[in-house]
């Protein structure tokens, strides 16, 4: 019997080790790389800890594409509205002249910041320059900026100030694709292309430097449009650029989209190690389970309609409800990631009703339940069908966010073996406790109030003891 127990214990240990090996970077790099990942594991500094604790972000796509709003000459573009310049029905010259109409007379950054604060956002990302190349700041390196529009004034500066005043961190989206710049290329076929692209890279570096000098309180860059061969075949440049930016602005946070290694691998280098400060590939999709994120910091970005980032007058297809977005936020937090919801303001500087409504509804939920989100992370408990567990990082407090109430009203809770449940109470009403019904070793039912008809996810706080010892939130539990 003793032998059997020891064999079982060794098998368990082996499985645990295998479980950890799946979630960490490879033990040994097999491919020698100069421009691969420069760090193993997540950043542990205060700037990154802050980013990780904020959890909910607001993305804003705003630019000239808001003027046509997905339509041109009475026809509707089927793609994402911010890509309309690439549609054959829209002459590029017409698009490139839209800057003469950019005049957002109802742009009030203080109102934007207030509504983001009310939604519960801890950070925001603004498109300083999307693929069209139009700059929302008066860059001295191109004439294609807001300074040439009837609005004339900087858009970014007042936005950074207004959001910062609300305690919201600002990140600058910057597209490497630049349809307006004569030297931008997708691939380099001739020496002339190479020469042009070398000039383009200098321009990119200058613009980024300029943004850092103009807006020194920003917390990071959000790069995009880095998938072309011209960019990904020069891993040395993106590596040096990242190091340069982080040197002149210590603490700067940059996701995995910027770089490629010298073999053209993006996000993860050729040895499978994450490049950049967090995994940035989760666009309009979320991981299913904790194993999917390999222990890395990550962020998911989501549109409210199917695939529209910039303003699109006619939303088609499924439009996500506030409850769906809340569930995605909860799921992301439960998997140790951040969740960013995108908004596409109109060209006059106002937001469409559907977006305002979602900001308000999410804000109402966050006001009551935000403490389960901010500073929340993976709990290490067995997932149940009613929803998601979230751990307050480095504590024994576990939140149960109930997104699907069973008809029985009974919520199954399975605790890890060494964990004890000391109390269960409603987050909204800490005075009201739930009496656990024991249904097995470490298994309970919590019975929800049968009279209640929940319209939004309800949150139960479990006070436990010794649950942090079970799992430090980094690794998925071993599969047994
Ligand atoms: O092409 C863009 C798209 O317009 C949008 O900006 C999204 C946001 O993540 N990024 C690109 C596609 O990955």
Q: Is the CB of 301 under 6 A from ligand 1?
A: yes
Please list the ranges in the chain whose pLDDT falls under 50. Answer: 1-24, 470-480
Measured in Å, residue 82 CA sits from the centre of ligand 1 at 9
Gap from CA of 83 to ligand 1 centroid (Å)? 9
**Choice from 177, 224, 225, 305 to test ligand 1 binding pocket (greatest atom count within 8 A of CB):** 224
- Which atom of ligand 1 is closest in space to residue 173's alpha carbon? 6
Cα gap 234→35, rounded to integer Å: 10
The model's pTM: 0.93
DSSP labels for 113-164? HHHHHHHT-SEEEEEEE-TT--BSS--TT-S-BGGGSTT-S-SHHHHHHHHH
261 touches 275 (CB < 8 A): yes
Nearest-atom number in ligand 1 for the CA of 61 is 6
16 CA from centroid of ligand 1 (Å):
38
| Protein residue closest via CA to atom 9 of ligand 1 | 283
CA of 416 to the centre of ligand 1 (A): 40
Over the stretch 115-164, which tens digit does the pLDDT of each residue have?
999 999 999 999 999 999 999 999 999 999 999 999 999 999 999 999 99
- Among 228, 227, 226, which residue's Cα sits nearest to residue 186? 228
**Nearest to 255, CA basis, from 120, 263, 264, 246:** 246
**Residue 80 CB less than 6 A away from ligand 1:** yes
Whole-Å CA distances, 113 to 129, 135, 399: 20, 21, 29
What is the reported pLDDT for 27? Answer: 56
Judged by DSSP in three states, 138 sits in: coil
Best of 309, 310, 342 for a ligand 1 pocket test (most atoms within 8 Å of beta carbon): 309
pLDDT of 5? 40
Whether residue 171 contacts residue 220, with contact meaning beta carbons closer than 8 Å, is answered with: yes
Atom of ligand 1 nearest to the CA of 83: 4
Q: Given 3.40.50.300, 2.60.40.1180, 3.40.640.10, 3.30.450.20, which CATH number is that of 6-10+377-466?
A: 2.60.40.1180
* Angle, alpha carbons 360-52-174 (nearest 5°): 75
Strands of 387-392's sheet in order across: 376-377, 387-392, 397-402, 458-465, 420-426
DSSP element (H, E) containing 113: helix 109-119
Is ligand 1 within 6 A of the CB of residue 82? yes
Is the Cβ atom of 132 under 6 angstroms away from ligand 1? Answer: no
Distance 256 CA to ligand 1 centre (A): 14
- The residue extents of the domains of the chain are 6-10+377-466, 41-371
Question: Using a 6 Å cutoff on CB, does residue 224 contact ligand 1?
Answer: yes
Burial 16-55 (b: 16+ CB within 10 A, else e): eeebeeebebeeebeeebebbbeeeebbeeebbeebbebb
| Ligand 1 centre distance from Cα of residue 64 (Å) | 15
Cβ pair 338, 296 in contact under 8 A: no
The single-letter DSSP state of residue 351 is -
Q: Ligand 1: distance of its center to the CA of 417 in Å?
A: 44
Q: Is the CB of 234 under 6 A from ligand 1?
A: no
Ligand 1 midpoint to CA 339 (Å): 16
Rg (CA), the chain: 24
Contact 79, 127 (CB under 8 A): no
Question: How far, in whole angstroms, is CA 255 from its chain's centroid?
Answer: 10
Sign of the alpha-carbon torsion through 306, 293, 41, 387: positive
Contact 399, 462 (CB under 8 A): yes
| CATH architecture assigned to 41-371 | Alpha-Beta Barrel (3.20)
Cα(27) to centroid(ligand 1), Å: 34
Residue of minimum CA distance from atom 3 in ligand 1: 309
Question: Which ligand 1 atom lies nearest to the CA of residue 59?
Answer: 8
Question: What gap in Å lies between CA 383 and CA 406, rounded to an integer?
Answer: 15
Q: For ligand 1, is residue 283 a contact (CB within 6 Å)? A: yes
Strand, helix or coil for residue 47 = helix
List Cα–Cα distances, 442 to 47, 467, 470, in angstroms: 38, 12, 14
- Expressed in angstroms and rounded, the spacing between residue 358 Cα and the centre of ligand 1 is 21
């Amino acid at each position: 019997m003793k032998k059997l127990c020891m064999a079982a214990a060794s098998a368990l240990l082996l499985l645990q080790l295998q479980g950890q090996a799946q979630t960490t970077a490879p033990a040994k790099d097999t491919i020698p790389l100069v421009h691969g990942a420069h760090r193993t594991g997540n950043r542990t500094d205060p700037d990154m800890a802050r980013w990780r604790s904020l959890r909910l972000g607001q993305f804003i796509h705003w630019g000239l594409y808001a003027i046509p709003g997905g339509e041109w000459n009475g026809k509707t573009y089927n793609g994402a509205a911010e890509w309309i310049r690439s549609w054959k029905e829209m002459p590029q010259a017409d698009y490139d002249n839209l800057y003469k109409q950019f005049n957002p007379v109802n742009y009030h950054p203080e109102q934007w910041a207030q509504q983001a604060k009310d939604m519960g956002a801890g950070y925001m990302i603004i498109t300083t320059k999307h693929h069209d190349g139009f700059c929302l700041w008066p860059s001295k390196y191109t004439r294609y900026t807001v300074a040439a529009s009837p609005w004339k004034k900087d858009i970014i500066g007042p936005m950074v100030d207004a959001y910062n005043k609300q305690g919201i961190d600002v990140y600058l989206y910057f597209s490497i694709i630049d349809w307006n710049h004569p030297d931008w290329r997708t691939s380099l076929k001739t020496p002339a292309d190479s020469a042009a692209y070398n000039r383009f890279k200098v321009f990119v570096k200058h613009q980024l430097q300029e943004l850092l000098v103009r807006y020194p309180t920003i917390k990071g860059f959000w790069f995009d449009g880095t998938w072309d061969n011209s960019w990904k075949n020069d891993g040395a440049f993106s590596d040096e650029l990242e190091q340069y930016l982080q040197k002149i602005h210590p603490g700067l946070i940059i996701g995995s989209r910027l770089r490629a290694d010298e073999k053209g691998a993006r996000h993860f280098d050729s040895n499978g190690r994450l490049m950049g400060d967090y995994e940035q590939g989760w666009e309009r999709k979320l991981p299913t389970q904790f194993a999917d994120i390999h222990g890395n910091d990550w962020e998911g970005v989501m549109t409210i309609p199917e695939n529209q980032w910039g303003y699109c007058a006619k939303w088609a297809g499924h439009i996500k409800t506030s409850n769906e977005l809340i569930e995605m936020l909860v799921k992301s937090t439960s998997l140790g990631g951040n969740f960013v919801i995108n908004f596409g303001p109109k060209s006059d500087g106002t937001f469409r009703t559907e977006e305002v409504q979602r900001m308000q509804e999410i804000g109402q939920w966050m006001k009551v339940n935000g403490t389960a989100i901010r500073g929340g992370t993976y709990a290490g408990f067995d997932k149940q069908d009613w929803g998601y567990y979230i751990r307050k990082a480095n504590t024994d407090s576990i939140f149960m966010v109930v997104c699907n109430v069973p008809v029985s009203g009974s919520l199954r809770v399975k605790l890890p073996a060494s964990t004890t449940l000391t109390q269960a109470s409603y987050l909204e009403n800490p005075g009201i406790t739930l009496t656990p019904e024991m249904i097995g070793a470490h298994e309970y039912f919590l019975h929800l109030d049968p009279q209640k008809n929940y319209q939004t996810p309800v949150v139960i706080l479990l006070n436990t003891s010794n649950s942090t010892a079970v799992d430090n939130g980094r690794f998925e539990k071993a599969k047994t």
